[in-house]
Amino acid sequence: MRDERGRVAAVGLRGVVSAVAVAVLMPATGRMWQQQRLARADIAGTWTGGDAGALRFKDDGTVVVTNLAEYNNDGDKVSECSGTGEWGVYPDDKAAKLLWTSVCDGNPWEFGGSKAHPKMRRSVGNPEHGNFQTPSREE
């Protein structure tokens, strides 16, 4: 930002430095989520991590869920869910942003991470608290 004489304003420089610091620190702290789109073929497989238990997505559209933690609105774990059902993607089968399952109700899963190391997450508890389950696909 320049003032009326064409000089770089100190406030502008501070803003640039702050923006660079945020861009550098966010990936290091793990607070940045990069949305991804995955094809159905990229979803098939087993996804695990933390309290997400295990979700095994099959090519035929079935899913086997084992020990998926469930939460109340306060963010407290209240139970675990296991079962077999169906899965699908939104908005279409070509490049999905979100995934749903017919077992273990809850918010839809969204995709992130990278194409090489995809992750999925869903909000748990009160969405305003920013708590997520975040499994990764096993190699």
Cα Rg of the chain (Å, integer): 20
pLDDT in tens, the chain (139 residues): 455 555 544 444 444 333 333 333 334 434 577 888 888 888 999 999 878 899 999 999 999 999 999 988 888 899 999 999 999 888 665 667 889 999 987 778 999 888 788 899 998 888 888 889 999 998 7
C-alpha pair distances (Å), 127 with each of 34, 41, 44, 84, 130: 18, 29, 27, 26, 6
The answer to whether the predicted template modeling score (pTM) of the entire model surpasses 0.85 is no
